[in-house]
Amino acid sequence: MTEGHPEHEHHQDPTFYRSPRDAAAAPPEKLAYVAAFSRPADQPDAMAVVDVDPQSAGYGSVVGFTELTNLGDELHHFGWNACSSALCPGGGHDHGDRRYLIVPGLRSSRVYVLDTKQTPQAPEIVKVLGPEELGKRAGYSRPHTVHCGPGGLFVSCLGGYGEEGPGGVALLDHNTFEVTGPWEADRADQYLAYDVWWHIRVGHPVHDRERGRARAAARPQVRPPAALLGHEDPP
């Protein structure tokens, strides 16, 4: 396993787009990565690779399948190590190309890093962050959504470390994929956490958080009466 990608290049990745119009005009993707998980957790979850090139003989079929190294991860959302948000003028530019998939396990609180560069149809697991790394360094568990952004990787988390909450956003280093800490400088009375997304305002990224649920770090599955705490969003 590697400790990051110090060989990252500083040219602009051609899949970084300055506008939705540029993205729509670009060549379409030829492969799609799809999370597959074992509901009873009796076999490892996996990353399936689907051929989405209409000109390919394998169009619409699974052409690759990378199994993870543990049971019971419960894959959900995942994301890239770098993307178009890297073009934000207010952010750092020490990231690499769009190459690594950052894949959290919602149940296990592990985070896998898969390298797609050498063999896009068979991504290679190059790093695994254990739940204690996320918990001790950021104070969170149950990683849910990954966003690449200027200055780091943003991972929304549903639960606290060893308890129901509060959830929040953990930061990962672009190059080493180590957890660097929580994103929040002052969380105030925020307790529930679910998803995150980007709003670009006057050239600066702003992270908004959707209030949703807290999830116990030690609980093996979601139980609505415990996970949904009865808080309602304001009208």
Q: Residue 215 pLDDT > 60, yes or no?
A: no
Domain ranges of the chain: 71-227
Query: What is the average per-residue pLDDT within 29-51?
Result: 95
Torsion of CA 116, 147, 14, 115, to 10 degrees: -10
The arithmetic mean of pLDDT across residues 117-122, rounded, is 95
| Residue range 165-206, pLDDT digits in tens | 889 999 999 889 999 999 988 878 888 888 887 665 544 444
The model's pTM is 0.79
Q: Which two tokens stand for residue 122?
A: 């068979």
